[in-house]
Structure 1
Amino acid sequence: MNGPIKMYQTRRFVRHDIPVELPKCMYTLKNIHSRNGMVDGAVDHVLAKNKKLDIFDQVKQFLKNNHKIPGMAELEAKQEEILQQLAELKKQILSIKSDLKIAAVSTTKPSTNFTSSTCPKITINNLPDIVINANPSNPPYSLQIIQKLLQDTLALTFSTYLHSTVSSLSEEAKKLDSTIVNFAPKSNVLKLNIRLIWKTIDSNTELLVSHIPILGEVNMLRYLSRAVKSSLNYDSESDCIEIDSLLDICYLLVRARTKTERAGLLQTINKSLGKAQWLVGRSQASIADVAAYSAIRQATSNNEISANLGKWFQRCETVLLGC
């Protein structure tokens, strides 16, 4: 074909020069291209004419017209008053602190010799009232030892009671009861009163501190060793982990039901003793010896312990109890 090709014309489908009415059933949106969703002084198709301004727009409008927000002056005055009171309170606290002149307490490593007269003085960290529930079938012999070991620094005075669930005490419980009650503490040391209630419970001795029970005789010893700053505290010792493990062994020994279970636990205690005089290879007794002596006396018979443990047991009665 010669010459240009003629283009045919088509009918226009969309026209942009006519107004478009939006349907009334659709919700409206603010114009995102205007400032704050609308143009100042103008109302577009997405904003109703009588729409109420929100709090932020009201504040801006007040500030723009040099108006003060209602109640703002009172709020600022109240804030200034509170800040002044806080500043005054801070001055009073600093003044009280300077008046108290709190001195730092020097920390010294405690001795592990319970029988030594040079045992450091102890302080009681606000101990609450202490109540101990014990089963007459499992007397906590450690109380007698602790009472004797701390006699130079802390007087543990006991008052004992018989619960309605107990008709009478066993011979061992009567002997322990009489020993701790009739113990004569020194008059020039701090005193801690303990109420011992003989009650029908399981083998776990219960220590009640502010009505919160601490179960187990070894856990009672842990509490006392931490609450009373004395040579009983073993937290700073290098063998504290091994002592804690032995305390757990003593807890299981009291609760063991068969001779086989007791034999395995006694073997662990005997291994810790080895050829040393005291447990954990120590040359002096520790809280582990106190717990182990009480557990073995409660739960085993003489024919169950080895000769090595038998010598250690006699040493506990001679050195710790003075028998």
Structure 2
Amino acid sequence: MSMYQVKPIYEGGIKIDLPTCMYTLPNVHQLQAASSCSSEHAPQNGAADPEVRALEARQDEIMRKLFELKAVVDGLAKTVATPDADLDLTVSSCLGSPSPTAACTFSGTADLDVLLGKDMGALRDIVINANPARPPLTLLVLHGLLCQRYRVLSAVHVHSSVASVPPQLLSCLGPRHADGYARNLFQLGFTLIWKDVPKLQMKFSVRNMCPIEGEANVARFLFRLLSPGPSDAAPATLVDSLVDTAFFQLAEGGAKEQAAALRALNAALGRHVWLAGSELSLADVACYCCAVQSGAAASAPANVQRWIKACENLGYFSRAKLQ
């Protein structure tokens, strides 16, 4: 019915025509549509109103800044506000970026979102407390591999419980980054804190997990961020056995235990290019670092010497030599 359509009524026998609009309410939606269509500011050819576009752009910018702020707050919570990561001196900070030309390839490359879940706007921080009296060489090598696979924001700190730290330990994660950085540009945060602790500790999510203790256990965690490892039980058990050999015999054992471990490695390397087969694994990283740190590599048999040179030809193993 039209807004101005008339409707006859009868009063006292006399016919009276009154506009319908006098006793019916107009359709508000139709009025708005008509008004919008007749407005001189109406969008043409389906284009959005410039004011609406400006409002949307402003909202997107606000959301981006909120995500950045969330990342900064999460990073502070994970590295400063926790009892096991109290810092009193920031020594160096650096960033790593993936290097496709020098990256080490693994048959099953890990995906952070699959392993750790998606976390919009927040950097995934790895915080490690280590004693400078025994630097975690395995973790330094794995850090180099992580930098080739992910965008890593790295930092080294010194805790007040440590009187002094050699210069090579202050730069063990790479050169200091001179420019400013935004945490949201990175996938992983890797913070190494030189602290007087009896055993190496690592926290990944300080609110949801207990610390992981021991260099071997932390190395297993970090390597899974690079590769899920063998899916079959037998190869996976072999890698675990070799990692235990590295830390319990090569690193902590006496001369006889070290010699026995080197003989076992020599036999394995007579059958394969790498310790656990045809592909580099955590066993190679752990055994190399422990052999170098303990001095056992100096008296290694022929196959082990050849394998040591093959490891050193991969640039990231150089981080295990801090002298």
Which TM-score band applies after superposition, normalised by the shorter structure? 0.5 to 0.7
Residue equivalent to 1:212:
210
1:123 aligns with 2:123: no
Displacement of 1:119 after TM fit? 7.2
Instruction: Give the conservation status (yes or no) of the 8 Å contact 1:114–1:285.
Output: no
1:139 aligns with 2:135: yes
1:165 aligns with 2:132: no
Residue equivalent to 2:188:
192
Residue equivalent to 2:248:
252
Displacement of 1:132 after TM fit? 0.6
Question: 1:267-290 CA distances to partner (integer Å, 9 max, x unpaired)?
Answer: 33333322432112x222112111
Displacement of 1:303 after TM fit? 2.6
Instruction: Give the conservation status (yes or no) of the 8 Å contact 1:253–1:295.
Output: no
Distance in 2, matches of 1:274 and 1:164, equals 48
Question: 1:245-296 CA distances to partner (integer Å, 9 max, x unpaired)?
Answer: 111112213652532232223333333322432112x222112111212222
Distance in 1, matches of 2:303 and 2:166, equals 29
Map of 1:91-106 to 2, 5 A cutoff? Answer: none
SS at match of 1:165: coil
Residue equivalent to 1:285:
280
Instruction: Give the conservation status (yes or no) of the 8 Å contact 1:278–1:284.
Output: yes
Question: 1:73-125 CA distances to partner (integer Å, 9 max, x unpaired)?
Answer: xxxxxxxxxxxxxxxxxxxxxxxxxxxxxxxxxxxxxxxx9624997462241
Q: Which TM-score applies when normalising by structure 2?
A: 0.53
Distance in 2, matches of 1:320 and 1:164, equals 33
Structure holding more helix per residue: 2
Which of 136, 148, 151 aligns to 1:155? It is 151
Residue equivalent to 2:220:
222
Structure holding more strand per residue: 2
Displacement of 1:190 after TM fit? 5.1
Distance in 2, matches of 1:271 and 1:148, equals 29
Distance in 2, matches of 1:207 and 1:140, equals 12
Residue equivalent to 1:272:
268
CA gap of 1:303–1:235, structure 2 versus 1, over 3 A, is: closer
Residue equivalent to 1:7:
none
SS at match of 1:240: helix
Identity of aligned residues (%): 28
Distance in 1, matches of 2:105 and 2:253, equals 38
SS at match of 2:151: strand
1:317 aligns with 2:312: yes
SS at match of 1:158: strand
SS at match of 1:276: coil
Instruction: Give the conservation status (yes or no) of the 8 Å contact 2:202–2:218.
Output: yes
CA gap of 1:118–1:266, structure 2 versus 1, over 3 A, is: closer
Distance in 2, matches of 1:140 and 1:156, equals 18
Q: Which TM-score applies when normalising by structure 1?
A: 0.53
Root mean square deviation, CA, Å: 3.6
Distance in 1, matches of 2:177 and 2:220, equals 25
Question: 1:234-254 CA distances to partner (integer Å, 9 max, x unpaired)?
Answer: 141451110011111122136
Displacement of 1:305 after TM fit? 2.3
SS at match of 1:239: helix
Instruction: Give the conservation status (yes or no) of the 8 Å contact 1:157–1:181.
Output: no
Distance in 1, matches of 2:293 and 2:253, equals 12
Distance in 2, matches of 1:288 and 1:260, equals 21
Matched residue type, 2:228: N
SS at match of 1:279: coil
